[in-house]
Each structure stands twice: as structure tokens, then as C-alpha cells.
Amino acid sequence: MSLEVIVLAAGKGKRMQSDLPKVLHTLAGRPLISHVLDTAKALQPHAIHVVCGGDGESVRAATSGDELRWVVQAQQRGTGHAVQQALPGVSQDALVLVMYADVPLVRCDTLRAVVNSAGEKGLSLLTVIADDPTGYGRILRDSEGRIEGIVEERDASEDQRAITEVNTGILAAPAPALARWLAQVTDDNDQNEFYLTDVAALADQDNFAIHSVVASTQEEVLGVNSRQELALLERLYQRRLAEVLMNHGVTVIDPDRLDIRGKVTAGRDCVLDINVVLEGAVDLGDRVTIGPNNVIRNASIDDDVVVFANCVIEHASIGAGARIGPFARIRPGAAIEEQVHVGNFVEIKNSELRAGAKVNHLSYVGDSTVGRNTNIGAGVITCNYDGAHKHRTEIGDDVFVGSNSQLVAPVTIEQGATVGAGSTITSDVPERTLAVTRARQRHVSGWRRPRKDTKR
């Protein structure tokens, strides 16, 4: 029996107070529905059907995968009605797993247990024991503990509302049986909707075996209906990611103040301080220390690197033993080799800094190559843009560029050369020479500063 997944993604999310479809709001930098689809794909189903509403084009555009089969629920008439829209495209010999695009934390192993529990001739429900069951459908069991139905809270009696085992909405059943039950579901309820939950009572009437899998925690099956709930799930998910890193030998100073929005790999004995944001593909070597308030995006950072506080590193590579920051910005295209020092208020863009180079203070290096063991003084600027085109600056090994100098590209500073402080370099500097362009100092005797007129 093949497995096919139906993902319900048509909810409008009115409580979000947003023009964006609810399932496109992000968790860890990715749409909610993307997390759910990743989990569904991990089950290796024969097909995934996504039921979307009238705004389905934007949902479809935000997700990738030609293997998805899209179904439109033009009228929002409940979860049962939504599943009915997808069933005609499901194979008759398939086992159907129903998931929700706004329940992003459910684990693959949990869903696999639901699928296995259903088998070829059963209905399997994912339930959870809730500390506060308010708002959830209650699981109804007979005196022997067998499930005989689900009642929504709006339609429940006082005794039924006291039940703490609740329905998550996630279920698995054979496609023919699910279609047969949904054909019998009515909208005779407080919401005048076709509830998917009604299939449990119909399965019981058919003497179908009804199984349940109880989720290990309520957190796993929480859905998103408001901004507050989205924020809660963000922290729960970030805690989960932080625990994975810690289990692999990373010290996370405060897991509640770490944000991962992509895929992070890390070696042993790394340290992540507070308020670190890791986005995209981030690869950390061994013994990397990331100080507080750093943003690292799509970057590779080698062994023994220290990134001091308040830096931004994006689309760049940092070699072993380098020191970055504090308050440095490493922009796309930067390739920083081993033992390089990039200090406070330094910006590096589309440049290669060879081993042992130092740019320690208040400098901008763009579209440049900086040679081995070269020192760039404070306030140095590579003037790489002429208003229309970018030009490169080539700086050789063992060069010393004095403070407050401007290197006007295209220009080459050859190996071992020295640029005197305060110089504006517009032509190439030969090997092992001193280039100085500042005006000769002179003194004006008797000179007085301008003074403001004294007010009377």
C-alpha cells in the first residue's frame, strides 16, 4: 500500500492580522509550510497533495518542488471539505496521511508511527495529553478505552470538555474508506462546516479499527493561529536547534538567545555567545568562538577563529586563527586567510586578505588583494568606484600603508613598499619604495583663529 500525503494549507489565519497567507509566515527564516513539506518528504510518500485557498498562487510561488500536486479549495467549508478536494487525485490503493501546513514542529518519527499504526484497514489518530485542552477537539473513548469519536469543543458537553486527551487533526486512513466517511459527514454543527474529525465516529460505526498515537509533548503538535503563537513556536524550534548543536559539542551560552535560520555545521568546542544569528549555510570549524550580537550569513569559518562582538559576516570565508572585530563588517566575496586580523569598524568587500595581513582600525578595503603580512593603517580607504565602474587595488606582501591614506584604483602597491600616512596614491608604487604625497608642512606665524562677534 503506497503512502500519499495531503497537506491542508487553505486557512486564512485571520488572527494573524496580515495580508500574507498564514502558512507563508516564517519560522527560523522559512515559511511554515516549507517545514511541513520537508517533514512530509522525509516519509518518502508516493505523492504530496497541497490544498490551498484562493491565495494559492502566492503559496505555490513560495514553495519549491515539481512533485507537489496542488488543489484549490475555493470555498472554506472546513477540514473535511478540504480533504475531499484532494481525494480525487489520490490512488485508490493508497494510505492517506493528513497534515497541516501550520503545524511545523511535528516530528517525522511521530508521523511514521501514525502511518504504521493505521496499516491497511485502520484509522490512526495523532492525539496528545494537553495541560489545557481549551480549543481542541476531545477524544471520546468507551469503557474499555477504545476510541469511538471526536467532539469539537463548541459541540461538547461539560463532561466531555473535562477530557484532556485531544485531537491534533493529523490522521491516517486508507483512501477508499476516508472518501466513504467524508461523503457521510454533514455540516450540522455550530460552525456549519464539514469536520474531518467526524470520520472517527463513522469509522467506529463501520467497525473499523481506530488506533491512536500519543505525541510525546504538546509542543510538537502546536499550530499557529496568531503572532503570539508564532513567536512561541519560534523559541521552541530554536531551542530544538540549539540542543542539536550542544549535543555535537558546541557551547551555547544562552539557548534562548540564539537564532538559526538555515543549516549550521560546527566542529568541536565552538562557543556561541548571546544574540548570535546564523543564517543560510554556516560552517564552523573546531574551537570557533562567536562573540555576542553577531550576524553570520552563508559563511565558512575555519578552526580557532575568534569573532568579537557586533560583527556582520556574509557570503565570506574566514581562515584558521583569524581575529575579526569587534564592529567589523565582512561583505560578500571576502576571502580572509589564516591569522589575519580585521579590527574594529573595518569593512572588507570582495577582497582577498592573504595570511597574516592586518587591517585593524576604521578602514575600508574593497575589490582588493592584500598580500601576506601586510599592514593597513587606521582610516585607509581603497577608492574602488569611479561613479560608473569598480576597479581593483593590488597590494603585495609585506606592504605598510600608513594611516589616513587613500588608494585610488586601479593601482598596484608592490611587495615591501611603504605608503606614508595621509597620502593619496593614484599611480603604482614600485617594490620596496616609500610613497608620500602629502603637502609639505608649513607654519604661519601670528595666525589667529576666527572669532565670533561678541553679543551686546
Same domain as 203, residue 277: no
Residue 104 Cα distances to 26, 32, 50, 245, angstroms: 10, 6, 15, 20
Task: State the CATH number of the domain containing residue 330.
Answer: 2.160.10.10
Same domain as 186, residue 312: no
Same domain as 217, residue 231: no
Instruction: Say what the pLDDT of residue 423 is.
Output: 96
Does residue 422 belong to any structural domain of this protein?
yes
Per the CB < 8 A criterion, the answer to whether 288 and 272 are in contact is no
What range does the domain containing 357 cover?
A: 227-435
Nearest to 173 by CA among 120, 107, 109, 103: 120
Same domain as 89, residue 14: yes
Task: State the CATH number of the domain containing residue 46.
Answer: 3.90.550.10
Same domain as 208, residue 81: yes
Strand ranges inside 321-405, DSSP E: 323-324, 329-330, 335-336, 341-344, 347-349, 352-353, 358-361, 364-366, 368-370, 375-376, 381-383, 393-395, 400-401
Element (H, E) at 5: strand 2-9
Per the CB < 8 A criterion, the answer to whether 363 and 377 are in contact is yes
Same domain as 207, residue 232: no
Does residue 208 belong to any structural domain of this protein?
yes
What is the dihedral sign for C-alpha 392, 398, 399, 403? positive
Element (H, E) at 258: strand 258-266
Q: What is the C-alpha separation between 394 and 412, in angstroms, rounded?
A: 5
Same domain as 243, residue 163: no
Residue 430: cis peptide before it, omega within 30 degrees of 0: no
Same domain as 329, residue 180: no
**The total number of residues written for the chain in this structure:** 456
Alpha helix (H) residue ranges in 24-130: 32-42, 56-62, 79-86, 108-118
Same domain as 400, residue 262: yes
Per the CB < 8 A criterion, the answer to whether 8 and 97 are in contact is no
229 phi and psi angles, rounded to 5 deg:
-65, -35
Instruction: Say what the pLDDT of residue 62 is.
Output: 87
211's grid cell: 488506533
Does residue 205 belong to any structural domain of this protein?
yes
Does residue 174 belong to any structural domain of this protein?
yes
Per the CB < 8 A criterion, the answer to whether 391 and 384 are in contact is yes
Nearest to 137 by CA among 167, 100, 158, 162: 167
Angle at Cα 388 formed by Cα 384 and Cα 394, nearest 5°?
Answer: 25
Q: What is the C-alpha separation between 428 and 439, in angstroms, rounded?
A: 19
The one catalytic residue among 35, 361, 389, 443: 361
Same domain as 116, residue 253: no
What is the dihedral sign for C-alpha 348, 353, 359, 364? negative
Contacts of 287 (CB under 8 A, 6+ apart): 267, 268, 269, 270, 303, 304
Residue 432 Cα distances to 156, 381, 419, angstroms: 88, 21, 10
Residue 105's CB is within 10 A of a number of other CB atoms, namely 21
Q: What is the C-alpha separation between 336 and 435, in angstroms, rounded?
A: 26
Cα 394 from chain centroid? 37
Cα 337 from chain centroid? 28
Does residue 442 belong to any structural domain of this protein?
no
- DSSP letter for 31, please: E
Which of 221, 252, 271 lies at the terminal end of a domain, its last residue? 221
Per the CB < 8 A criterion, the answer to whether 331 and 313 are in contact is no
Which of 206, 221, 236 lies at the terminal end of a domain, its last residue? 221
Element (H, E) at 51: strand 47-52
Same domain as 127, residue 56: yes
Does residue 441 belong to any structural domain of this protein?
no
Per the CB < 8 A criterion, the answer to whether 43 and 111 are in contact is yes
Does residue 453 belong to any structural domain of this protein?
no
Residue-level pLDDT, tens digit, the chain, 456 residues: 899 999 999 887 788 889 899 999 999 999 999 999 999 999 999 999 999 987 778 888 888 766 899 999 888 889 999 999 999 999 999 999 999 999 999 999 999 999 999 977 789 999 999 999 998 999 999 988 989 889 988 889 999 999 999 999 999 999 999 999 999 998 887 778 898 989 998 998 988 989 999 999 999 999 999 999 999 999 999 999 999 999 999 999 999 999 999 999 999 999 999 999 999 999 999 999 999 999 999 999 999 999 999 999 999 999 999 999 999 999 999 999 999 999 999 999 999 999 999 999 999 999 999 999 999 999 999 999 999 999 999 999 999 999 999 999 999 999 999 999 999 999 999 999 999 998 888 999 999 988 888 776
Instruction: Say what the pLDDT of residue 65 is.
Output: 66
- Burial class (CB within 10 angstroms; exposed 0-12, middle 13-18, buried 19+) of 447: exposed
Total domains in the chain come to 2
Q: What is the C-alpha separation between 307 and 292, in angstroms, rounded?
A: 9
- Residue type present at position 157: S
Strands 209-214 and 251-252: unpaired
Does residue 452 belong to any structural domain of this protein?
no
What is the dihedral sign for C-alpha 241, 96, 32, 105? negative
Strands 276-284 and 295-301: parallel
Instruction: Say what the pLDDT of residue 61 is.
Output: 87
Cα first-last separation, the chain: 99
Which of 221, 248, 267 lies at the terminal end of a domain, its last residue? 221
Instruction: Say what the pLDDT of residue 432 is.
Output: 97
Same domain as 324, residue 208: no
Catalytic residue list contains 361? yes
